[in-house]
Structure 1
């Protein structure tokens, strides 16, 4: 007996909107692990002052003692998982002094430009920052435009833009890290 195809309703698709795909989730874990690498480069005092969970501080201090490549890789994966529970804005605020105010202003202009120009600006940004994922950038821009068209509150729109700026800052940090190596 042949199975009748399941019919999907509009509600089924609405529930999926805004959720990250598995690929996006994996990329986010990789970005968090790379941010963990940068956090591990901070001094012991700076790490201890981070306003994060004690387990994360211990993991960051432990990684400084590990010499085996494979053990360090696994530890950074663990750090990436622990970072998912933390506030991205706070973590980036500790890493952004490396970038400086001029760089942050430049990234803010990139965000505004990508929102206004969409694909041309996204392509140019991806050329400038090798760690950028054009698909993820497009998703952020689409979410912001959707919020604007649905007349979302100023707070919701600011939240979407902050998430976009956080992603752009992560990409810039990771791209700069890749150039330094």
Structure 2
């Protein structure tokens, strides 16, 4: 025992139980599993080392369960040795970006459904909320989409309307 009380407090803070160490290791393996399910474009947005990236690609190539299990343990070890907090932050940013994309898609879909009712108040509400809208183009797309809908035709113009609304919302958020 030491006479300095600060040393004892430091030892208690730095001590981790075996269970805590195992929970942290498994959490990093789970994070590694998420990384193995990403494509190269997504992985490019996350700060991973070359060695970890190679290990992830090797995991994706493997087909036998035991080999994949061992490779996953190796990925977990590489993550423990490296800066795993920056990887956690990168994955969180990627998920946030994905959630924003989905939210925007749902918003556009709701607007399209509201506009396709033919209610002029909905059209005016959209134009008021998004003043950078090309009103003539929007009305033309809407008219053609409604004509398709009433004629039981494939929704080609409804898709064009969706893409245009998405473009308008993207411009508004810029």
Instruction: Name the TM tier (shorter chain).
Output: 0.3 to 0.5
Q: Rg bigger for which structure? A: 2
Say which structure, 1 or 2, has more relative contact order (CA 8 Å, 6+ apart). Answer: 1
Task: Report the TM-score when normalising by structure 2.
Answer: 0.47
Task: Report the TM-score when normalising by structure 1.
Answer: 0.45
